[in-house]
Amino acid sequence: MSPFPAKRRKLDRSATSLDDSETEQRSTSNASREDVVPPKPTNTTRLLEADDAALYVGGLYKSSLFKLQVDELLREVVPNYEKRFGGLTTALHKLKGLIEGIEERGALSVADATKWLHKSHRIAVPYPDPKPDKNAAYKLSYAKPSHINVIGSYTLRTMVKSDSTLSVDLLVVMPAAIFQEKDYLNYRYFYKRAYYLACIAAGLQQAAQEDFIVAFEYLHGNDLHPILVLKPRSDESKPVPSYAINVIPAAPPMLFAETKLRPTKNNVCGKDGVEGESTILLPTPFYNASLRSDCNFEAYLKLLHSVTKASDGFKDACMLGRVWLRQRGFASRLSDGGFGHFEWAALTALLLKFGGPNGHSILSPGYSSYQMFKAVLKFLSSNDLVAHPVVYGPVDFVASTSSSPVLYDGQRGQNLLYKMSPWSYNLLREEARASLSMLNDGTFDQFEATFIIRTSQPLQRWDCIFQVSLPSHDLESTSCDHRSSMAEFGFRIAEILAEGLTDRVKLFDIKIPSTSSWSTKAAGPTNEPSSLTVSVAFDPATIDRLVDHGPPAEEKKKAAKFQKFWGEKAELRRFKDGSILESLVWSPGSTYAIFENIITYLLKRHFGTVVASSLRFTGEGFEKLLPGSGPSTKSFEILKQSFSALEKQVRDLEGLPLQLRHLSPVSPQLRYSSIEQPLFSSGQPLRNPADLSIQFEGSGRWPDDVVAIQRTKIAFLLKVGSLLEEVDESIASRVGLENEDKPLQNCAFLDVIYGSGAVFRLRIHNDREQTLLERQIKEKSSDHRAREDAVLALSVYKRLFLQLPLHTQSIATHCTRFPLLSPTIRLVKMWFDRHMLAGHVREEVIELLVVRTFLQPYPWRSPSSTMTGFLRTLLFISRWDWRAEPLIVDFTGTMTSKEVDSINTRLEAWRKIDPTMNRTVLFAASNHDTSGTAFTDNGPSRLVATRMTALARSACKLVKEKEMDLDPRSLFATSTADYDFVIHLSPQFTGDHRRKEASKPKYKNLEVQSEASMEKVGSQPVLSYIEELNKLYTNTIVLFYSEIPGSVIAGLWNPQAVATRSFKVNLMYPTRPANGEGEDTEDVELDKSAILAEMARLGGDMISEIVVHR
């Protein structure tokens, strides 16, 4: 059978299914059956896949590309069960036998039982706090478990490769006989469970000594749930298997009535009866749920098993969820948010039965894994389970609202989210929302953002991170529920942050460090944490607000509460609109200063000076690195105002031969993105003139020749200059010449110098140039050289007069839209500059890279601090595979996937034409420039681009390793050891010296002598020197230079030029005979020493030393 008819049939089906829901259902199930890809596909499945492939393009997946990538991901993350769990089955069988062989032990009092275990086996029973009463009436006993079973993701085969050891859960169900009816009260069940576990530990200790290391651990960090962890011992003969076996004691399913353990019930405080009588007993949801979860292990195993059978996509959806959660730092552990893959799987399973309108379910078993994954995200993001708790299943129970989320599985009587704190739930929802919006992005492929990028790295995720140590005195508990003192502290801080910071922050997270496992002989975990970490994401619009408005004075109750919360900081103020409000006034300063101020005050007020003084903040270091007055954009604004004034003056000029059409800024100083702020005053004009492009209305009187146009511009500029001088006396103007050896390019500019110190440089844009140059390029009669010149001139023309005005406008607009864009661009530029790449990578490319971080911020939201913006940009650079991927910036958010595709195709075409990347290396496209090469035409070379990636990689690695201990300056330190030679500049010519000079205080009466400083505007001897060197030795050396410290120029020899070659007349570099002097030879080699001597002569007094490495 030829493959063609089959293909057509299937295509037709998918086409018709669009309007026929029944067929769609059928084709859906067909497709999803296909998509369950076995870990190692055989040839036949591969074929099938290809044949049915076109189906995936339909609604089942985001796109076929996405689907294929998901398949690859699933294939990649599945561990090799046989290899990783070699010998596990025998080990489990052996363990089962051992546990069943432990002898039974009759009822003993708490004290006796503890003593006995300690004496005979030296085992400390891991009782939870509070420790059991020695004189308690109930007795502890051990009996043979009712059964033993393997549960968890190992049995479901939904494990995912990871760095940590994979663990297999061995469930030991305790016999009902050892419990009493009322054991659910006051920790009695948990004491008995702990004793039972200790007995198993005692039994295994001897028997399993040779094979395993036995230790206690809290299951998911919940100290009500101690378990035994058995790690296989290393053996001489075989490598250590990287798995661990968790022995988990569990209660029989029907031990306690479900109704007694609902989240609204209290089961703890009745103990003493002293305080308890008068007060209403507060519910103890966490305690109850912890108990219920012990009864439910097997019930959930059953549920998940049956769902796996019923729905094909389920297993893969669980694995996708697992990867997604892990990349966001979520896990079942209390310290990791309390939402892990088990919760994900159980939630998905529940949603397959419940959740939809009219008793229907949200998910259908026919969904593909991706659909299921996305629907779960949608469920998480769109339902607020704190405000509206949800109960599924056949129970008549209405959950009341509390601060924690509730998703009650009625059938099994379990709040699935009981381990989640309010803040971790908020975080999960935010992550789900962000992921959902990126999955809905039809234009760009978001696969990497969804599953590959680790989003939970603190410095890239959060704007400010601080550590607080636990106060030494006990906090009085606010609830009866079971909570460690650390958790209690965390909850208190969360409340205070929520009330104190209000809308200043978008999100915060509190990390309570988890305990590790401990030896069976120790009394408890050895590393009791003493401090917790709070991470905050700012709201850039409100974070630096100086005055907080509280409730009005008339509302007595609210005002009193406000005063109680804020203490002496709260003051009554009358505002302009006549209202009298309780308010707070913070002293002005940087964003971080204000924030730290508030936090320190709050913690001091609520926990005392000791806690407040223990605070350690991370985050501001990056902003502080910026030169000048930090992240403020004030000086940019001032220059912008001067520009507006100039624009008005030019517009109002009378006597111009042609009408003005546009006066557009093209300088980074006019788009908030120059590393150094544009500072100027009447005595000190702006050092680097701000470039402008000026365009007049079209006229037929321009000459029809490029060179002549350039010359005519001079006359125009002279006219504009003299007219401006007439209009405004404070203006001085002068016409300067440039591009002396490139007749096709712009040859003159006009400097307009205001008395205020603002300096602008105008170049005339004439659109006729483009046509003329294009004609010149097409003309076949002209020689190769002339055409090259025209091509170069055209690309310069396009960049300067077409792209730059648009680019400048877009960047400036977005800098006002995102207040943090400007400092981030400047910081990233500084990074490039410090690593001496600034001369190679154009500023505009760097700006595009940073804007991308803000406009396509996935998997995060737009950065709300310089630190996150900077580090995320570095992360992007480190991951950017510029060989195969273009950089695409969608300024307006209106790009279609078609446009993106065409940009991709263009890149592929470039790579086909020029596979060695001699011409275009980086490909940076935007709405304005779909060609992608406007700013990357002449640089960076592949060498520089590779270095850029390498530098970014090592920076990201450092960030990951150091985390909070990172010194931001270390990312900006560069070494010159890799270069072949280094030219050290004389101190008075370095950038640093120049800056010092500029900041020197001047006497007022000396300001009059501004003529001299006017002269110097735009004079940059070192840059001119480098420019000349580059021109002289284009193919011989590559120079690296950084402008900000500006004290060295480093260089590399071009390996092609270094090679010995036969003599010819027109070599582009100085040579010497290859085999020394005195003999006849045919070959010559690069005369490095002669070049260095030439450079030294040319540099003259500007150079202090040339150091040669190679």
The separation between CA 958 and the C-alpha centre of its own chain, rounded to angstroms, equals: 15
Q: Specify the residue, 178 or 875, whose C-beta has the smaller distance to other proteins.
A: 875
| Dihedral sign for Cα atoms in the order 711, 713, 719, 720 | negative
Q: Whole-number minimum distance, CB 710 to other proteins, in Å?
A: 9
Q: Whole-number minimum distance, CB 755 to other proteins, in Å?
A: 19
User: Which positions ≥6 away from 941 have C-beta within 8 Å?
Assistant: 840, 921, 1038
The site for other proteins, by CB under 8 A, has a size of 97
Q: Whole-number minimum distance, CB 453 to other proteins, in Å?
A: 6
Torsion of CA 442, 443, 447, 448, to 10 degrees: -150
* Sites for other proteins among residues 265-324 (CB under 8 A): 323
Residue selected from 80, 146, 527, 1024 as contacting other proteins according to rule CB under 8 A:
1024
958 contacts other proteins (rule: CB under 8 A)? no
| Strands in 332-463 per DSSP E | 390-392, 407-409, 414-415
Is the separation of the CB atoms in 940 and 921 below 8 Å?
yes
Q: Whole-number minimum distance, CB 385 to other proteins, in Å?
A: 27
Residue selected from 38, 106, 239, 1100 as contacting other proteins according to rule CB under 8 A:
1100
Q: Specify the residue, 87 or 703, whose C-beta has the smaller distance to other proteins.
A: 703
Q: Which segment (368-376, 499-507, 603-611, 1061-1069) binds other proteins by CB under 8 A?
A: 1061-1069
1065 contacts other proteins (rule: CB under 8 A)? yes
Residue selected from 181, 1003, 1101, 1110 as contacting other proteins according to rule CB under 8 A:
1101
Q: How far apart are CA 420 and CA 433, in angstroms?
A: 18
Is the separation of the CB atoms in 818 and 861 below 8 Å?
no
* Sites for other proteins among residues 686-705 (CB under 8 A): 703-705
* Sites for other proteins among residues 45-104 (CB under 8 A): 50, 53-54, 56-57, 63-65, 68-69, 72-73, 75-77
Helices first, then strands: H and E counts in the chain: 37, 32
Question: For 731, phi and psi rounded to 5 degrees?
Answer: -90, 130
Over the range 462-486, which residues count as b (16 or more CB within 10 Å of their CB) and which as e? bbbbbebbbbeeeeeeebbbbbbeb
Residue selected from 15, 541, 580, 610 as contacting other proteins according to rule CB under 8 A:
15
Q: Given its phi and psi angles, is residue 736 left (phi above 0), alpha (psi -120 to 50 degrees) or beta?
A: beta
Q: How far apart are CA 530 and CA 513, in angstroms?
A: 9
737 contacts other proteins (rule: CB under 8 A)? yes
Residue selected from 150, 475, 658, 1106 as contacting other proteins according to rule CB under 8 A:
1106
Residue selected from 1018, 1030, 1052, 1061 as contacting other proteins according to rule CB under 8 A:
1018
Q: Given its phi and psi angles, is residue 247 left (phi above 0), alpha (psi -120 to 50 degrees) or beta?
A: beta
Q: Whole-number minimum distance, CB 329 to other proteins, in Å?
A: 11
Q: Which segment (604-612, 680-688, 808-816, 1080-1088) binds other proteins by CB under 8 A?
A: 1080-1088
Is the separation of the CB atoms in 282 and 402 below 8 Å?
no
Q: Whole-number minimum distance, CB 67 to other proteins, in Å?
A: 9
Please calculate the CA angle 995-996-998 and round it to the nearest 5 degrees: 65
1096 contacts other proteins (rule: CB under 8 A)? yes
Q: How far apart are CA 436 and CA 383, in angstroms?
A: 13
Q: Whole-number minimum distance, CB 923 to other proteins, in Å?
A: 16
Residue selected from 286, 344, 754, 1025 as contacting other proteins according to rule CB under 8 A:
1025
Q: How far apart are CA 79 and CA 93, in angstroms?
A: 22
Q: Which segment (340-348, 370-378, 777-785, 1089-1097) binds other proteins by CB under 8 A?
A: 1089-1097
1067 contacts other proteins (rule: CB under 8 A)? yes
* Sites for other proteins among residues 852-891 (CB under 8 A): 881, 884
* Sites for other proteins among residues 326-365 (CB under 8 A): 326-327
Residue selected from 735, 792, 806, 1058 as contacting other proteins according to rule CB under 8 A:
735
Whether the bond between 940 and the residue before it is cis, its omega within 30 degrees of 0, is yes
Q: Whole-number minimum distance, CB 879 to other proteins, in Å?
A: 9
* CA-to-CA dists, residue 181 to 107, 188, 270, 286, angstroms: 16, 11, 16, 20
Is the separation of the CB atoms in 720 and 712 below 8 Å?
no
What is the token pair recorded at 998?
Answer: 């500029």
Q: Whole-number minimum distance, CB 1101 to other proteins, in Å?
A: 4
Residue selected from 453, 534, 731, 828 as contacting other proteins according to rule CB under 8 A:
453
Q: How far apart are CA 663 and CA 668, in angstroms?
A: 15
Q: Specify the residue, 67 or 225, whose C-beta has the smaller distance to other proteins.
A: 67
* Sites for other proteins among residues 597-656 (CB under 8 A): none
* Interstrand relation of 390-392 and 407-409 (parallel, antiparallel or unpaired): parallel
Q: Whole-number minimum distance, CB 1084 to other proteins, in Å?
A: 7
Q: Specify the residue, 294 or 751, whose C-beta has the smaller distance to other proteins.
A: 751
1097 contacts other proteins (rule: CB under 8 A)? yes
User: Which positions ≥6 away from 996 have C-beta within 8 Å?
Assistant: none
* Sites for other proteins among residues 155-194 (CB under 8 A): 161-163
Question: For 467, phi and psi rounded to 5 degrees?
Answer: -110, 135
Q: Specify the residue, 76 or 914, whose C-beta has the smaller distance to other proteins.
A: 76
734 contacts other proteins (rule: CB under 8 A)? yes
Q: Specify the residue, 326 or 842, whose C-beta has the smaller distance to other proteins.
A: 326
